[in-house]
Amino acid sequence: MGYQALDSSSYELPIHGTEALRAHRKTRLALAYRVFGALRWGHIGDGHISARDPERTDHFWLAAYGVPFHDVTVDDLVLVAPDGRVVEGRGSINPAAYHIHHPVHEARPDIVSAAHTHTPYGTPFSALVTPLRPITQEACAFYDDHEIFDDDEVDILSVDGGKRIAVALGRSKAVILRNHGLLTVGATVDETVGWFVAMERSAEAHMKARDGLAIGHEAALRARGSVGTPQAGWIMFQFLVRSYVPDPSVVG
């Protein structure tokens, strides 16, 4: 797997007009939830994916709380204001989603999306409180580009907790939340979710090969230059949608 040959024709094309961009982001967000659902993640409401609104840029879209991830459609999305109120759409939200996503979006105006859920390998790996090592190709995508939130607040009960996550994340594409799991961010929903799935696979490799031999610094940087670009995260999501949501029109 290598993406260094990607050009602009392989990447997301510009979308003109606020309404068109909003509709695009909402469609991709609904597909992202469907991918998580197909992977059997979030079955007990333990996760959330956000997409920044292109006009009200301090607002973001989430799936309404209680909608199974594998059933999410565009109509199930709600718009969350900076104070945590749902100002568009029907339904409520998981308070932790607001506590985490609002501060992250506020601290990172360069991102469009953030993703977090509790996964079979990312969550136990987070309890080791150690960074990913470059022991697999996917893990190289995160080499020197992820951080650790070393804090024992696993139930994020306030915006202050989310602010500490945002500080830990810094300018990176991902952060390991101690005893809690993984969180990724990106300039598109597609990139964000591509990174999240790749990070879960990296955590799986670490849990199964605890003493795996890491490659060297220069080799890891070269690999990151291929598999760690925004385009690489984006294209991973294209494969995920084709594999798990063969008819994207189901999201509306």
Closest CA to 50 of 186, 145, 154: 186
In whole angstroms, give the CA distance from residue 28 to residue 188.
Answer: 9
Taking 80 as the threshold, does the pLDDT of residue 4 lie above it? Answer: no
Q: What is the overall mean pLDDT for the chain?
A: 94
How far apart are the C-alpha atoms of 82 and 85, rounded to whole Å? 7
> Is residue 35 over pLDDT 60?
yes
Q: Tens digits of per-residue pLDDT, 69-123? A: 999 999 999 999 999 999 999 999 999 999 999 999 999 999 999 999 999 999 9
- What is the pLDDT at residue 6? 35
CATH assignment, 16-245: 3.40.225.10
Say if residue 9's pLDDT is above 60: no
Helix, strand, coil % (nearest 5) of the chain?
45, 15, 40
Distance of CA 118 to the CA centre of its chain: 12
| 184-206 confidence digits (pLDDT tens) | 999 999 999 999 999 999 999 99
* Contact yes or no for 172/131 (Cβ under 8 A): no
